[in-house]
Structure 1
Amino acid sequence: MASRPRSRRLRRVLLAALVVASVAVPLSGEVGPAGVPAPVPTVRGPLRSATPAALAERYAATRADIGAAARTADRHGDRKRADALRVMAEPGRHLLSFDGRDGGRTVEVVGDLSRADRIAVLVPGAGTGVDNYWRLKGGADALRRELGGRSAVIAWLGYRTPATVSPAAATSLRADEAAPRLRAFLGELKGLKPAARTALLCHSYGSVVCARAATGLQVADIVLYGSPGAGVVDVAALHTPAVVWAGRGSDDWIADVPHLRLRLPTVDVGFGTDPMSEDFGAHTFDAGSCGHSDYLRAGSASLQNIARIVRGRTPDASHA
């Protein structure tokens, strides 16, 4: 039994060393995205209506943009990107927007948005991109099945996520870039579906994005799961009328990330208070034994409780 605490202490030391190393590496020297070329999308600007006809037209136009990006990736010689895009362009996929440039951005609906009275918006964390988008899509599919009925899940990959182990993943810079886009999208969604109950679900680094966008958002709930911290001291600092929830699985390595925040002249490093702590002030829910990438796994306690929150019900309390 003694080996487990020693192992956890070692992991904390190594993770702390990683944070310190991140501080020492100039952010300006970070390697950019893959740089696979893509055409300028033809679908631009907000959706003006959520009627079935308007959505079908939007989905078809976006599908054509993805197909054009796949052909460009093929010509560039990036088979992995081309294959991933062809899967995204398959009939039956419902993408509201897509831009293949600068690493790729996309927003996809799972379910019938026109009829939905419960909507979950998923904001992914570090290491999520077009090439491995299937992971985000799989989680959205599982949550939609758990919700059932008149629900829709929106996978919002609306920003260039940092690499999982990188200087950018230890700072809020990418979140600062992403937050205005997320706020704009949620504002558009509220205009399209004013009566729907909307929850904002924020995984890992996505917690920092959501925190940066939180002030005054018209959503019912903000859920931080697998979070390294939100970059704020407590829930009050989010300035949101939403109910704020936090959950973390017992097998999630993110628990070993040091909850520190270092203020440097040009950037803050680390994300401060643990969202699972009493000091942070969030409502906590049971995420079971899931690991960092398993929160939306079918049959998991985490998925079931997140679905309860989206429905407006009380989840099982955290045992942490």
Structure 2
Amino acid sequence: MEEKLNLVEEWDKTFPQSDKVNHRKITFHNRYGITLAADLYEPKKAESKLPAIAVCGPFGAVKEQSSGLYAQTMAERGFLTIAFDPSFTGESGGSPRYVASPDINTEDFQAAVDFLSVQDNVDPEKIGIIGICGWGGMALNAAAIDTRIKATVASTMYDMTRVNAKGYFDAEDSENAQYEKRKALNVQRTADYRSGEYARAGGVVDPLPEDAPFFVKDYYDYYKTSRGYHKRSLNSNDGWNVTSSLPFLNMPILQYSSEIYSAVLIVHGEKAHSCYFGKDAFAKLTGDNKELMIIPGAVHTDLYDKVDVIPFDKLQTFFTENLK
């Protein structure tokens, strides 16, 4: 059921390899028949079946960046983890390339749970997920539909449907603005079909304008410098297909988040431009097993890779308490 992927075997991450865990490349498939590539990390000393965590994000990143760091660190803390590339990106399969989908990308998380559920060294009743940036919203969407997910962390999350439809800080929240956006994207569809290729939106702007907003400078500092650049990362290079925005305009991913019964932890930086996504998503959650953690002074990308800012102790406690 899986296509053969050409996976890089050497260590090509943006973070150093840990000597506390075992690492290997794996593949799994989703229900659309797309084969996904992932890095699997597991504690070197494991005497019984392990709780497991699937990690993905940020939106436009690859598993060699932030998600891999989260996965490796949580493996050091006793969990079997995988960090995967979403469909159509990185080392994962799927054609055309560089397209996002609120449905398929939610399914990618569920496919990761499929894979973890059948591993001999994983307890299928103890599976959680971590979504970073745009995949924080996808993680909540997956938790709303997949009852096998017992605990979810959304870190520095975006609601990708909201930001695509309404713009940053809802500045484009008008019928006319949204119509003009749909019109432009459908004109692009025609142009793409005529040319036989998909126009790319461009990744993080480079060179960086002096008057760029702070959050753009924040992204540049991660994706375009040695800190976080990766050759397969969309944000580090030519970005998504322009028309990837289309399905997010009328397919809200958090429609049923109020019906998530399992535990949820939303983590956001106090100074992050995106913090309103996390706060508003948390406000929709119900039950007494939901928590919002605001990191004082942190900006959006601090929670990508700054190990002294990412609350890994809290993440360990959260998953330990809820995967039991």
TM-score (structure 2 length as normaliser): 0.51
1:141 is matched with 72
1:158 is matched with 86
Written as runs of structure 1 = structure 2, the 5 A alignment for 1:126-205 is 126-129=59-62, 133-145=64-76, 147=77, 150-160=78-88, 174-192=101-119, 193-195=122-124, 197-205=126-134
Task: Give the CA deviation at 1:126.
Answer: 1.2
Written as runs of structure 1 = structure 2, the 5 A alignment for 1:257-296 is 274-276=280-282, 278-281=283-286, 282-295=290-303
Q: Which of these residues, 115, 132, 136, is aligned with residue 207 of structure 1?
A: 136
Task: Give the CA deviation at 1:298.
Answer: 2.3
2:254 is matched with 232
1:122 and 1:312 map into 2 onto residues whose CA distance is 18
2:268 is matched with 248
When residues 205 and 124 of structure 1 are mapped into structure 2, their CA distance, relative to the original with a 3 A threshold, is same
Written as runs of structure 1 = structure 2, the 5 A alignment for 1:49-198 is 65-67=6-8, 84=12, 93-97=23-27, 105-112=36-43, 115-129=48-62, 133-145=64-76, 147=77, 150-160=78-88, 174-192=101-119, 193-195=122-124, 197-198=126-127
1:313 and 1:217 map into 2 onto residues whose CA distance is 14
Task: Give the CA deviation at 1:98.
Answer: 8.3
Task: Give the CA deviation at 1:309.
Answer: 1.1
2:224 is matched with none
TM-score (structure 1 length as normaliser): 0.51
Greater length-normalized contact order (CA 8 Å, ≥ 6 residues apart): 2
Asked if the contact 1:218–1:242 (Cα under 8 Å) also holds between the matched residues in 2, the reply is no
Asked if the contact 1:176–1:212 (Cα under 8 Å) also holds between the matched residues in 2, the reply is no
SS in 2 for 1:119: strand
More off after superposition, 180-189 vs 220-229: 180-189
Post-superposition Cα deviations, 1:176-201, rounded to whole Å, max 9, x if no partner, equal 22222321231232232345522211
Q: Percent identity?
A: 9
SS in 1 for 2:154: strand
Asked if the contact 2:53–2:129 (Cα under 8 Å) also holds between the matched residues in 1, the reply is yes
Q: Structure 2: state its 5+ residue gaps.
A: 17-21, 30-34, 91-98, 161-252
When residues 144 and 290 of structure 1 are mapped into structure 2, their CA distance, relative to the original with a 3 A threshold, is farther
1:286 and 1:273 map into 2 onto residues whose CA distance is 9
Q: Structure 1: state its 5+ residue gaps.
A: 1-39, 44-64, 71-81, 163-171, 260-271, 315-320
SS in 1 for 2:54: strand
1:83 and 1:221 map into 2 onto residues whose CA distance is 29
Asked if the contact 1:110–1:154 (Cα under 8 Å) also holds between the matched residues in 2, the reply is yes
2:315 is matched with 306
1:310 and 1:83 map into 2 onto residues whose CA distance is 27
SS in 1 for 2:254: coil
Asked if the contact 1:121–1:201 (Cα under 8 Å) also holds between the matched residues in 2, the reply is yes
Task: Give the CA deviation at 1:245.
Answer: 2.1
The alignment's C-alpha RMSD in Å is 4.1
1:151 and 1:121 map into 2 onto residues whose CA distance is 10
Asked if the contact 1:274–1:280 (Cα under 8 Å) also holds between the matched residues in 2, the reply is no
2:308 and 2:319 map into 1 onto residues whose CA distance is 16
2:146 aligned with 1:216 = yes
